[in-house]
Amino acid sequence: MTPVERVRLMRFGASGVITTGLHVCTALTLIADAGMSPPWANAIAFTWATAASYLLNTFWSFSALPALLNAGRFVVVSLGGLTSTALVSHLTQLAGGPPALGIALVVCVVPPLTFVAHRCWTYR
């Protein structure tokens, strides 16, 4: 891996941590302060976190400019990541694994897949 790719990967990881924090804070605030149901709060939080992730990754991780094409691709990859998260969690549960194992597998599998998808497709 080249030094440039290492920097991209580190920035991608930092962006993920930041936007995960945004998701958690948004969802908790909507649930606690607005009395919103958890599914709706998480749906709104996911939307906000995905928008923030797009901006952070476009400008910072991949040094690109916002464009309709890469925004659409970003959403497709994000939804693929969401689907992969649900699938890995479900398969872990079916195999009898504890929830913590499912979460650990999601963390180990989904971010690398989405990084490669963004690198090879979203921002090519």
Using one digit for the tens of pLDDT, what is the confidence trace for 31-45? 999 999 999 999 999
Q: What 3-state DSSP class applies to 24?
A: helix
Q: What whole-number distance in Å separates Cα of residue 99 and Cα of residue 65?
A: 38
Q: What whole-number distance in Å separates Cα of residue 85 and Cα of residue 71?
A: 21
Give domain limits for the chain: 3-122
User: What is the pLDDT at residue 61?
Assistant: 97
What is the residue-averaged pLDDT of the chain?
96
Torsion of CA 20, 21, 23, 24, to 10 degrees: 120
User: What is the pLDDT at residue 74?
Assistant: 98
Judging by beta carbons within 10 Å of its beta carbon (0-12, 13-18, 19+), is residue 65 exposed, middle or buried?
Answer: exposed
Q: Where are the alpha helices (DSSP H) in 35-117?
A: 38-56, 68-94, 99-117
- Tens of pLDDT, residue by residue over 58-98, are 999 999 999 999 999 999 999 999 999 999 999 999 999 99
Side-chain half-sphere exposure of 100, counting CA atoms within 13 A: 0
User: What is the pLDDT at residue 107?
Assistant: 94
User: What is the pLDDT at residue 52?
Assistant: 98
Span 22-27, average pLDDT = 96
